[in-house]
Amino acid sequence: VQEAAEITTTRVEPEVYVPPRPGSPVMRATGDERASALYFDRMERRIPLGLGRDGAPLYLNADFLDGTRGAHVSISGISGVATKTSFATWLLYSLFHSGVLGAEAVNTRALIFNVKGEDLLLLDHVNAKLDSDTEVKYAELGIRPGPFQSVAVFAPPRAGSSTATPDVACRTTGVEPFYWTLSDFCAQRLLPFVFADADDERQQYTMVVHQVTAHLARVATPADSGVVIEGQRLGSYEDLVDYVCTQLSDEETRAPWSGSAVGLGTVNAFSRRLIGSKKDLGRLIRGDLPTRRAHGIDTSDAQVSVVDLHNLPDRAQRFVVGVTLRAEFERKEKAGTAKPLQFVVLDELNKYAPRDGTSPIKEILLDIAERGRSLGVILIGAQQTASEVERRIVANSAIRVVGRLDSAEASRPEYGFLPASQRQRVLLAKPGTMFVAQPEIPVPLVVEFPFPSWATRPSEAGPAPKTARRSATQGVDPFVLAAGDSLDDIPF
């Protein structure tokens, strides 16, 4: 009986490209020979990726992830089937717990935007459904299973809440609300992120956006939690929008706000869109909450920071992503050093950095893709279709990961790194199977990564960790503390 197999050459050592003689013995590589064939012997720092078809570990060269020789990860696949988000979190878990970062792991940070459901809000809860077979897989990879040890969760306030109660259902502890005061909005020049839709930048009214932004930064002064503009106190985002639109509609006051060379039609187009943002952004930009309370998204306290966006409308999601990314990128620019590293996990890159058009968010993501490596900002981006994402972002990704694709998408040139045989296999890939391409290995690796050892839904979650910080809005009433001591006076 004769058997024939079609193989792909991964390595020729020494580099004498002469085909083997007919009849030469062929065997499956194992042990050191397998490591040599897959270039693992050249990797000084290896991150466990998962298991191969032979049940042996597969690795990623850390030099192409941390910016030493390359940076950024692009993950593509069908929503709900390709397990893109699960692989991104697994990659972070492997990076933090494999020891490849050494002492720097403590200070390395990851910022994750949760855009679908509440799956990523339980990263610090153990997975109660973890079985012995999965534990064996973790042991083979040299990683101890468990939840993420240092997690901070940020969620927007509930609509209509006067106490900034986080809008989260799956957990009651360890969640902090985030919002921006009117003073923050004006002083930090956040208005352009209200118009963060890529199609908007094609319109002429964007010149009004920048003119109004600059004028607000000049004339707005803080007043408790609100602002005072030209002698009038404004206590909510709705008040601010109404005031700006009133100034723009009055011929006597329009020029300082919009500039003298802007037509009335352009001003009205700006006003219509600004008025349309009141409902979406009213609970994020506040003038009715104490300014003393911490209300920003702070990534410095925990190793992993999760920003929940799933309850926000599209315009509000864009605003939060844009403002947060700008703040983190500017912080790293001011630091002037690449270490400690800052990872950013963002799903739906199709929406935030589309191939056509321009927007403030897209410009920030392009900056991260092109300059982030030298600044220590590493993007782990996920999208359903890489063919619809800005080319420069995909091209600057040293690591490319593909889950299950549909046939039309798989035929696009963006997946030219996949051999013809793998382009057919990717149409049938099961959840948990990914095709990983890295610069050092000429053929993508077919990886099966283990089931998450942290909870991905409330039904899997074990007890809340003791390290979970109580939310500021869930703290004990100060009057209760004072009740036990008759000498205590009213605390204000």
Query: Which residues of the chain fall below pLDDT 70?
Result: 198-203, 291-293, 467-492
Q: What is the pLDDT of residues 370-414, one digit of tens each?
A: 999 999 999 999 999 999 999 999 999 999 999 999 999 999 999
The contacts of residue 292 (CB under 8 Å, 6+ apart) are: none
How far, rounded to the nearest angstrom, does the alpha carbon of residue 218 sit from its chain's CA centroid? 33
Q: What is the pLDDT of residues 9-58, one digit of tens each?
A: 888 888 888 888 888 888 888 899 999 999 999 999 999 999 999 899 99
> What are the two backbone dihedrals, phi and then psi, of residue 173, each rounded to the nearest 5 degrees?
-125, 160
The contacts of residue 69 (CB under 8 Å, 6+ apart) are: 61, 63, 398, 439
Report pLDDT for 22: 83
Sign of the C-alpha dihedral computed for residues 25, 26, 31 and 35 taken in this order: positive
User: Running DSSP on this structure, what letter comes out for residue 76?
Assistant: E
Distance (Å, whole) CA 222 – CA 476: 29
Report pLDDT for 265: 85
Given a contact cutoff of 8 angstroms between Cβ atoms, the answer to whether 265 and 254 are in contact is no
Q: Which of 304, 386, 374, 308 is nearest to 335 (CA)?
A: 374
Domains within the chain, CATH numbers bracketed:
47-164+305-460 (3.40.50.300), 180-286 (no CATH)
Given a contact cutoff of 8 angstroms between Cβ atoms, the answer to whether 80 and 478 are in contact is no
